[in-house]
Amino acid sequence: MVSRRNFLKTSAACLAIPAVLGMSNTLWGQPTNLRVRKNLMTLADNDPFFEKYGEAVKAMHALPDTDLRSWWGQATIHADYCQHATLNFVSWHRPYIAMFEEICGELIGDSNFALHYWDWNQKNGIIPNPFYDNPLLNVTHWNDPGEYNGINWGRIDSLPIRALQKGTGLQSDPVRSGSFTERNLQTILRQSSFVNFNNMLERQPHNNGHVIAGFPARGLPGHIGDGLSPLDPIFWMHHCMVDYMWAKWQSADNTTQDNDETYSDMFVDKNGNPITFTSQQVRDFTKLGYTYDDLIGRERFEAMLKNAEISSAFQATLAEQLKSAKSVSLGMKKASITASVGEETSLSAKTTNLLRNLQSSRVFRTTLAGKKLLATEGTRVIAVLKNVGWPQGGNNGLVVNVFVNCPYLTPETPATDPHYAGSFGFFGSAKMTSMEHGSSVVIDITAPLTVQAGAGRLIDDIKVQLMPVNAAAESKNTASFTVTDLEIIRLD
């Protein structure tokens, strides 16, 4: 294993340029004849995209509801067949979004039409102005009904509203913003395990995005907060961001777990014909006809790449470490707790040699100018909350903040607090089997543990604290949920 000293010394060359580039990497080189999805937050309010997208929404509304290409038909596909809290989460939504994109292009006569991704981390995570100013993109304009009984989702009752007002973003509230920060998104992207990546991507920014954008202070949720969420035009941008995260994770040569699921009799193509996909068929998104703006354009990074001294010997050393990498359980607590809104609930686990484990290193995959690289960082420690039940006794507009060893925790403790680890939310329904019987939630607790180690107060007893808060600060949700068991794991 690479020593702590060598880790600090030699990792700089591999991490310096990715840090400068932020979230910009390259995938399979310059595409040909691919639709290019752009960062929605970089577009001017008068960008032609918004007008074209609005015309596509209008054209879909003009189709009969029985046509699955229609606005209503596309929403019912989600309510009937969507995959949540399963390993099919990203692979089901990818063809769903791609077929919707092709339908839009067909209806407006633009085969190059591409959806764009709502970058939660930029501009405070606001919903761009045209989604309010252009009636065709404003969910309230269409007044679509929100009552439906989905095959997969069950009973749905939502309204044509948004909880996020114009100019307000996912990061506007300091208490509920932690899922969307650069640090958290990078943490997700550096997960080597697909199970952890999929879990963290869905349960954290994906779920919390639906909840914060969808749940007002009182009353029924907006469409984006329930099973008919595709009725809100911003839904498709939200899921483009989810897919973009998966594409970036794939570009670093991470491996999606084998899954032989077949999605048949669910989607339709641009002509309304049924189309079948398998989970393996959709792994290469370029075969679905699109790519992302910052996964192309190798030439803009070549100058930086020339200045980077990337040691082949060091890469070989990291490759050997990666081969022997394994997850190690540091401690477990078997217990059953009930967490309620506005109240601290905790699970404590006794670990062994926590400081020594925290000081080791791990290898992760990244890319630089299209070149797949291995890089190092300090080890990561995760908390796995097991058998997290569906909220009872109220709506599910919850954001659950997770802290570690915080002596002063209140519902107002912000995500910037040094004890903050992460947050998760609930989006789905109790009818879905995995949600009904409970599923695991993975939270990376490395950051607060590192702060406590630096202050000389890290101990082997880890207290993982849950603080459920309402999606809207003034709402009076009284929901509660159960958690059974906690495991602390070191990731190599």
Residues 58 and 162 in one domain: yes
12 pLDDT above the threshold of 70: no
Q: pLDDT tens-digit profile of 62-95?
A: 999 999 999 999 999 999 999 998 999 999 999 9
Task: Report d(CA 299, CA 442) in Å as an integer.
Answer: 37
Residues 354 and 264 in one domain: no
Residues 296 and 332 in one domain: no
**Weakest-pLDDT range from 92-101, 307-316, 363-372:** 307-316
Which of 301, 336, 367 is where one domain is finished?
Answer: 301
Predicted TM-score of the model (pTM): 0.91
Could you tell me if residue 460 is inside a domain? Answer: yes
pLDDT-derived band at 99 (thresholds 50, 70, 90) equals very high
Structure tokens at 263: 């999605």
Q: pLDDT tens-digit profile of 338-354?
A: 999 999 999 999 999 99
Which of 285, 301, 317 is where one domain is finished?
Answer: 301
Residues 53 and 165 in one domain: yes
Is residue 332 within 8 A of residue 348, CB to CB? The reply is no
Tell me the CATH number at 432: 2.60.120
451 pLDDT above the threshold of 90: yes
Task: Report the relative pairing of strands 262-268 and 274-278 from DSSP bridges.
Answer: antiparallel
24 pLDDT above the threshold of 50: no
Could you tell me if residue 4 is inside a domain? Answer: no
Fill in the amino acid letter for 369.
A
Residues 275 and 358 in one domain: no
- pLDDT at position 16 is 36
Residues 136 and 224 in one domain: yes
370 pLDDT above the threshold of 80: no
Q: pLDDT tens-digit profile of 126-176?
A: 999 999 999 999 999 999 999 999 999 999 999 999 999 999 999 999 999
Task: Report d(CA 131, CA 126) in Å as an integer.
Answer: 10
- The proportion of the chain whose per-residue pLDDT surpasses 90, expressed as a percent, equals 74
Could you tell me if residue 420 is inside a domain? Answer: yes
Tell me the CATH number at 145: 1.10.1280.10
Mean pLDDT of 200-214: 97
Residues 213 and 92 in one domain: yes
Which carries the bigger pLDDT value, residue 413 or residue 438? 413
The pLDDT mean for the chain works out to 89
Residues 339 and 291 in one domain: no
Number of domains in the chain: 2
Q: pLDDT tens-digit profile of 43-53?
A: 999 999 999 99
Best-predicted range by mean pLDDT among 13-17, 31-35, 372-376?
372-376
Residues 382 and 457 in one domain: yes
**What are the C-alpha distances in Å from 456 to residues 379, 407, 450, 451, 462?**
18, 16, 10, 9, 15
Domain span holding position 103:
35-301
Task: Report d(CA 425, CA 416) in Å as an integer.
Answer: 18
Could you tell me if residue 476 is inside a domain? Answer: yes
pLDDT-derived band at 11 (thresholds 50, 70, 90) equals very low
372 pLDDT above the threshold of 90: no
- pLDDT at position 172 is 94
- pLDDT at position 95 is 98
